[in-house]
A and B are shown apart, each in its own frame.
Chain A
Amino acid sequence: MKSNELRFREVSENADSQLVKIEINHLIPLPSPYDKPQVSAWRELDTDQHRRLVCNLDGFIAAGLPVPQDAKEEQKYIDQFIIGLKKLLSRESNWTFLQPLLLSLDFCARCQTCSESCHIYLASGRNPLYRPSFRSEIFRRLVDRYARKGGALLFKIRGGAIDLNWTTISRLYELSYRCNLCRRCAQACPMGVDNALITRELRKLFSQELGWAPQELHEKGTQLQLKVGSPTGMKPKVVKDNLDFLDKDFSEVTGLNIATPWDKSGADVLLLPGAGDILSFPESIMAFSILCNAAGINWTLSSEAPGYDGVNYGLFYDDLQFIKIALQHARIAKKLGVKKIVMGECGHQHKAMMAVADRILTGELNIPRESSMTFLENLVFSGRIKFDPERNNFPVTLHDPCNIVRNLGIVEPQRRVLRYLCPQFREMNPHGVENYCCGGGGGLSLLSMANFTNWKVNISGRLKFKQILEAFSDQPEPSVKKYLCAPCLNCKLQFRDLLEYYGAKEKSGIYFGGLAELIVNAMVDLKNPFITWGEY
């Protein structure tokens, strides 16, 4: 099959074969020294994975759907899918996104302007499977056929050509996890149609009706957070112990007296961090602690589950899980009587609490919420802490997390900080609201089943990696240490995988971290540099 000749009917055919094959040589080239494709690191699925899991899409597995036992089970899921389609169009079951969904379904001009803006489609060498419009169009035709009055006629007029069978729904399910939900396609669409929204609605249908969702987002994500407090599995006592240890450790290293406050009633600020930072990037949470204490901010963390973990993976795939977690976060803040909630450096958390959940936080739950970008900017320019920008005199570029920048319009505060504190700050191109996703958005940075990391680092993260290299192209040698500022936990997880895979530290001297760490690194009061250029 030629890469530009994928027909819609093929989605329903050849159940046991892969729909497309991704050739590493078709991907867009990267600059030297990454221009030779790393074929040895391109992992194929093994026999056991082929036996246990549905592997009929593109040779990768993100969602990990088990092979059904028999035709009866397949039919059960098909029937549920049809019921789910109807529920998505109903007010009582889907008022949350009904208007945007109907508008996006009915007014696509099918002009493919969206595809030209999609980093995944472009990076793959324009593989038609990854067009934002491809999965949307399949979904649209199925909605026409099974969920609308006069469906059969509408189906024919609007293209038809898709059978609804096990093959179709299993491929659609996996395909719904080939999108970062970054909404660059929606931004480009002259109509305003939102393919990322359609993808999310697809994921929602599978989760809320069929009970299908990647375990990293569901069982080990939202369910674990609702059960114990955090997808990391950390319960309140463990979190407090961990932070206590970090406080002592970093106090020793920095010469500052770091003490994280817990459960202060009536504090001005409740910081809602990503608990994943505590385990994976502890310098991030410590940096916040140092800055808040140094600036004399009356702040607190919450030890009540899930108040110490601001993530909300429901944003990626399930409205009901989303609402449960968002309401809990707000209730905890209300109980503490804080004046405002400040989001940690976590993109989807920003979008979840500052925008999407805004309309369900009614009455007393409507506690003011502020971005850490704004909070940190105010802190830096308040005059309460002395900084020496020369301490950050190394190349720095900024990755714009989609959920903070494109989805919320928070663009400049972090840039004002970087322009002040980083003499060698340079932008990527494009940047700001037109940035490219890191490749881990939409929850994908959390998915690591089988060979999916291969897909993320080679395809969804490819354009971003190219951007990073181009931003540092004036000083490419590894001896010059370069800092990729990524103020988002999930983006950092993706960058860890991406930069490790390509050996970017060894070959190009590229490191990554958040914004708070850069700010602390410039503090005059610090004995030693905060940024240690260590292991990822």
Chain B
Amino acid sequence: MFWHIIIFSICGIALGILIYRVVNIARLPVHLRWELAPVPHDKTREKYGGSYLEEQEWWKKPVRKSIIQPLKYMAAEIIFLRGVWKNNRSLWPFSLCLHSGIYLMIGMLFLCLINALLIAIELPADITDIMAETISYMALISFLTGSVGAISLVFKRLIDHDLKPFSTAGSFFNLVLLAIVFVSGAVCWFYQGEFGDLLSLFLSKLITLEVIRVMPLTFILYVAISLLFFLYLPVSSMTHFMIKYFLYHAVRWNDKPLNARMESELRNLLAEKPHWSAAHTGTDGQKTWGEIGNGVRDEKQ
């Protein structure tokens, strides 16, 4: 039960930390509007990045929002790194390699879980074998592209004069750890063979709580390193994969005009008591934002 305890504990801790971080960000107070065009959910103006504020007397008309357009925008951004392609092309191929490796690994793990379930319910070997082969090839591409991406980015950050001054110990640690995950996976793949079978079986025994017999060393190394990475992930800046939702939906694309629900929260926030030291602010920790904002003007006409 050693592997079961370790893996479930690590997954539980990592997920717990991730949820904690996300909830903390979600619970931050509503902020003043700070949207930024293009806001892709506008149904009719998406092509040029226009918003409902173009509409004459927009407050009398329903705002028609698209669900598909923001998804298309984010898909292009996440899968093809559109922003980097457009504005930082020299970085794009390396970053695309790394991210492709990550996405393929996630896809591979997902397929593996499905295959593990199929093995557990004793589906015919024809199906699970095909799945395992697909998983193997996905894993190979993932390990190769991910390794190339991570290692090349380490070198790029070391020698590129634009990136070097900004590259911190944290940046290198993240990339090196990712490189180790991918390289260990590649080593296991080439050394062991039948990677898809190996991983599917392993996961199947995890799910059914069966005893996991001795695994090959290279596989153990890959699993151990991946688990360490998974434990580290939620405390690192690599959680941008979750946080991006907030940066886009809660800030950049948050062009919702004031409504009753928001107003109630804002009245509470306007009742907060700020405390800044500059004399002109008129704050002393006693007056509320609302009171300061409504202060009588010192007028002489």
Listed in ascending order, the chain A residues whose CB lies under 8 Å from chain B are 4-8, 80, 83-84, 87, 91-100, 102-104, 106-117, 128, 133, 137, 156-159, 183, 186-194, 197, 207-211, 218, 223, 226-229, 235-237, 305, 318, 320-321, 323-324, 326-328, 340, 354-363, 366, 368, 370-371, 373-375, 377-378, 405-413, 432-433
Contacts and interface: CB of A to CB of B under 8 A. Distances in A.
Contacts of A95: 29-31, 269, 272
Given A190-B77, A362-B258, A366-B258, A356 B299 contact: no
A117 B251 contact: no
Nearest to B169: A157
A99 B301 contact: no
- Nearest first, the 9 closest Cβ-Cβ pairs linking A and B are A409-B51, A192-B247, A211-B278, A190-B83, A409-B37, A159-B168, A433-B49, A113-B88, A99-B28
Given A188-B86, A355-B33, A102 B28 contact: yes
A193 B31 contact: no
30 contacts: A4-B162, A87-B275, A91-B272, A92-B274, A92-B275, A97-B32, A98-B31, A99-B246, A100-B31, A100-B247, A110-B167, A111-B91, A188-B87, A190-B83, A192-B248, A226-B297, A305-B297, A321-B280, A324-B295, A355-B33, A355-B255, A356-B32, A358-B258, A361-B258, A370-B56, A378-B56, A407-B36, A410-B51, A411-B37, A413-B54
Given A159-B169, A190-B83, A408-B51, A102 B25 contact: yes
Contact of A207 (B82, B95, B267, B278): B278
B247 A409 contact: no
Interface string B249-275: 011100101100011001101101111
Contacts of B34: 97, 100, 194, 197, 355-356
A191 B243 CA distance: 9
Interface stretch (B119-127, B190-198, B281-289): B281-289
Given A211-B279, A362-B270, A374-B56, A227 B297 contact: yes
Contacts of B38: 409, 433
A133 B167 CA distance: 12
B20 to A, nearest CB: 14
B50 A193 contact: no
A92 B267 contact: no
B195 to A, nearest CB: 30
B2 interface: no
Interface of chain A, main secondary structure: helix
Nearest to A133: B166
A409 B39 contact: yes
Contacts of A114: 87
A360 B270 contact: yes
A368 B61 CA distance: 12
A411 B301 contact: no
A137 B169 CA distance: 14
Given A228-B300, A409-B45, A432-B48, A80 B277 contact: yes
B55 interface: yes
Given A158-B168, A355-B33, 20 more contacts: A4-B161, A84-B277, A87-B274, A92-B272, A107-B243, A108-B237, A110-B168, A112-B88, A133-B166, A186-B252, A188-B83, A208-B276, A227-B297, A228-B299, A228-B300, A320-B292, A363-B263, A375-B56, A411-B54, A433-B38
Contacts of B36: 183, 186-187, 194, 406-407
B275 A107 contact: no
A210 B163 CA distance: 33
A100 B45 CA distance: 25
Contacts of B57: 340, 368, 370
B141 to A, nearest CB: 23
A487 to B, nearest CB: 14
A197 B208 CA distance: 51
A414 to B, nearest CB: 10
Contact of A320 (B37, B77, B281): B281
Contact of B250 (A99, A357, A361): A99
Nearest to A112: B162
Given A96-B31, A406-B37, A413-B54, A223 B91 contact: no
A361 B266 CA distance: 10
B15 interface: no
Given A320-B276, A361-B258, A99 B33 contact: no
B170 A157 contact: yes
Given A128-B165, A223-B280, A411 B50 contact: yes
A260 to B, nearest CB: 19
Contacts of B272: 91-92, 95
Interface in B31-67: 31-39, 42, 45, 48-59
B42 A409 contact: yes
Given A320-B281, A321-B280, A407-B35, A190 B55 contact: no
Interface in B166-206: 166-171, 173
B91 A5 contact: no
Interface string B59-80: 1000000000000000001000
Choose among A6, A377, A412 the residue with the greatest number of B CB atoms under 10 Å from its CB. A412
A22 to B, nearest CB: 19
A324 B287 CA distance: 14
A188 B86 CA distance: 8
B171 A110 contact: yes
A268 B129 CA distance: 73
Nearest to B160: A112
Contacts of B240: 107, 109, 191
A4 to B, nearest CB: 5
Choose among A87, A340, A408 the residue with the greatest number of B CB atoms under 10 Å from its CB. A408
B251 A192 contact: yes
A137 B166 contact: yes
Nearest to B34: A100
Contacts of A378: 56
A117 B168 CA distance: 23
Nearest to B240: A107
Given A110-B168, A354-B53, A359 B251 contact: no
B81 interface: yes
Contacts of A374: 53-56
A432 B49 contact: yes
Nearest to B167: A110
B84 interface: yes
Contacts of A113: 83-84, 87-88, 91
A231 to B, nearest CB: 14
Nearest to B278: A211
B49 A409 contact: yes
A516 B267 CA distance: 38
B293 interface: yes
Contact of A6 (B165, B246, B275, B281): B165
Interface string B227-239: 0000000000101
A111 B95 contact: yes
Nearest to B88: A113
Contacts of A358: 32-33, 257-258
Contact of B252 (A188, A192, A209, A237): A192
A486 to B, nearest CB: 19
Contacts of B270: 360, 362
Contacts of A433: 37-38, 48-49
Given A324-B293, A374-B56, A191 B163 contact: no
Nearest to A319: B32
Contacts of A210: 277-278
